[in-house]
Amino acid sequence: MRLIDYLDKGASLGADAPCLTMDGRDLCYADVQRLSYRIARSFERSAIAPGDKVAVLSGNDPIAFACVFGISRAGAVWCPVNPRNEAAENQVILDDFDCSLLLFHSSFAGMVEKIRANLPKLRALVCLDAALPFAPSFDAWLSDDVGYFQREPVDDLVMLPGTGGTTGKPKGVMLSGRNIETMTALTLMSYPFKGRPTYLALAPLTHAAGVLCFPVMALGGRVVIMHHPDIGEFLALIGRYRVTHTFLPPTVIYMLLDHPQLDSADLGSLQCFWYGAAPISATRLAEALERIGPMAQLFGQTEAPMMISTMAPDEHFNADGSIAIERLSSAGRVSPLVQLGIMDTDGNLLPSGQRGEIVVRGSLVMDGYYKNPEATAEASVHGWHHTGDVGYLDADNFLYIVDRAKDMIITGGFNVYSVEVENALRAVETIQDCAVVGLPDPKWGERVVAVVQPRPGQSVDAAAVTAFVKARIGSVKAPKQIEIWSDLPRSKVGKVMKADVRARLLQGPG
């Protein structure tokens, strides 16, 4: 399956059915199909050949997302560019990934104008919503020919996203049609889908929210797009469009749980509320199960998108209907089409219950890093893709992630996994979020340090928190130091930046 095949499949189930919706305006499947023909012809006119890389830089927008299908129709490769990136990072991505054409929204015109002189490989710039001195408008660039048009790709590469860049220069992840097809199959077999789904996209379409559109469209479903994150509007849209599926990262779910309109909102249409991309508080998740409904976990990474492990809504509960509290800290069961192992540093696979690096293989795993054979070889040593996460499998094949390998703390000769400490901290009712890092210590080698963010309107008693964590996981793992910050530094996709936390702590007060 190419990316365009998901649109065409949905159209075959009802060409007049709504496909992309924003601000009360619908584009039906036939509308998006016709637009994809016009976009593909325009790429040909701009000398974009099959296999060329085409970047899209925009916030959530139906036309910007429709361009993805025009790119696929032309046999080209979609390079999603995170709109929250800094100019320098986007310059690196566009140049290193050999992008030939950039489609961008006018809100990013200043950034594009700043970096375009340093992008000699770019042959064309197109502004999605305005005519600019250095770029024609999308409407002026777009072909008038709405007749069927499609070009064959040169290989199975369909998507070239960048890694987060939190550990250095972003790497291009080569995702094939087979990768996305496997992800789609796992989505459809792992979660409830009844009737035509309606999917609400608040999170950026350049990331998880975007690729989750493909299984929805394969069923002829509607994608309701939010341009700006607004929790009140999010709740209203669920009731207005009878939304069945949506995705939010934990940080936004916490905001949702604290929103005054949550308990009065009409959420009865929800079949599946996905969460993922970062650890979630088991206490807040239990609250979400009671107040929101059918929560569903997914775990993956850019290199193995979305579905390494899954936990469907009913797996959050015991057979008697009670919440399976002990399971809420897991990342779900290993997906049916994924091979997963726990590996030690010598390349040996470990039995259930033992901790090591999570490694995976199968058709979900990327084809490698673009033009970076060294990084590809490093990530695939011993014949498995190395996720960089430390975890273990229990007897029921549920996966537990205990840390990033680089974030493990060695204190007094003991290994302390920061995620385990963070899970204990998140069980404190007054704590919204937290980060645990190791800092140099003359006595212990490293000491466990926690930075906590209070819930809105709450205060945190550091001594009480320390006592709580000691009682829960023992004194060795309890923080020796607790700092209280109003917020935590986060990446563009909402993950806590532990390197920034550590750096700020090392700088000391002020």
Confidence of residue 274 (pLDDT cuts 50, 70, 90): very high
Torsion of CA 459, 462, 466, 467, to 10 degrees: -70
Predicted pLDDT at 496: 87
- Cβ–Cβ under 8 Å, residues 331 and 367: no
DSSP-derived 3-state class of residue 482 = strand
Q: Which residues of 342-370 are buried (b: 16+ CB within 10 A; e: fewer)?
A: bbeeeeeeeeeeebbbbbbbbebbbbbbb
For residues 384 and 380, give the distance between their C-alpha atoms in angstroms, rounded to a whole number.
5
Residue with tokens 């963070």: 422
CATH entry 3.50.50.60 includes domain 178-404: no
DSSP-derived 3-state class of residue 76 = coil
* 346 CA to centre of own chain: 30
For residues 147 and 66, give the distance between their C-alpha atoms in angstroms, rounded to a whole number.
17
Phi, psi at 339, each rounded to 5°: -90, 125
For residues 27 and 240, give the distance between their C-alpha atoms in angstroms, rounded to a whole number.
17
Instruction: Fill in the DSSP letter of residue 426.
Output: H
Predicted pLDDT at 168: 59
Q: Please write down the HEC assignment for all residues of 191-251.
A: CCCCCCCEEEECCCCCCHHHHCHHHHHHCCCEEEECCCCCHHHHHHHHHHHCCCEEEECHH
Q: Which residue intervals of the chain bear CATH 3.40.50.980?
A: 29-154
Instruction: Fill in the DSSP letter of residue 395.
Output: T
Predicted pLDDT at 24: 93
Helices (H), 262-391: 282-291, 373-379
Q: Which fold has domain 29-154?
A: Rossmann fold (3.40.50)
Confidence of residue 166 (pLDDT cuts 50, 70, 90): very low
499 sits in which H/E element: helix 498-507
Structure tokens, 37 = 């023909």
- Average pLDDT over the chain reads 93
Q: Which residue intervals of the chain bear CATH 3.40.50.12780?
A: 178-404
Percentage with pLDDT > 90 across the chain: 81
Of 294, 287, 289, 228, the residue nearest 258 (C-alpha): 287
Structure tokens, 195 = 């009737």
Mean pLDDT, range 386-408, rounded to an integer: 89
More confident of the two residues 414 and 19 = 19
Structure tokens, 381 = 């040593």
What superfamily would CATH give domain 408-507?
ANL, C-terminal domain (3.30.300.30)
Q: What is the largest CA-CA distance in the chain?
A: 73
Name residue 339's beta-bridge partners.
Answer: 361
Q: What is the radius of gyration, based on Cα positions, of the chain?
A: 23
**Length reported for the chain:** 510
CA pseudo-torsion sign 467, 471, 476, 479: negative
- CB atoms inside a 10 Å sphere around CB 262: 17
* 214 CA to centre of own chain: 14
Condensed to tens digits (0 to 9), the pLDDT of residues 452-510 reads 999 999 999 999 999 999 988 888 889 999 999 999 998 766 788 888 999 999 887 75
Condensed to tens digits (0 to 9), the pLDDT of residues 338-354 reads 999 999 999 999 999 99
For residues 437 and 499, give the distance between their C-alpha atoms in angstroms, rounded to a whole number.
9
Q: Which residue intervals of the chain bear CATH 3.30.300.30?
A: 408-507
Those residues with Cβ within 8 angstroms of residue 326's Cβ, 6 or more apart along the chain or in another chain? none
Condensed to tens digits (0 to 9), the pLDDT of residues 176-206 reads 999 999 999 999 999 999 999 999 999 888 8
- CB atoms inside a 10 Å sphere around CB 290: 9
Q: Please write down the HEC assignment for all residues of 86-140.
A: CHHHHHHHHHHCCEEEEEECHHHHHHHHHHHHHCCCCCEEEECCCCECCECEHHH
- What is each CA distance from 140 to 128, 131, 136, 409, in whole angstroms? 10, 8, 6, 57
Of 316, 489, 502, 279, the residue nearest 391 (C-alpha): 279
- Cβ–Cβ under 8 Å, residues 341 and 309: no
Predicted pLDDT at 399: 96
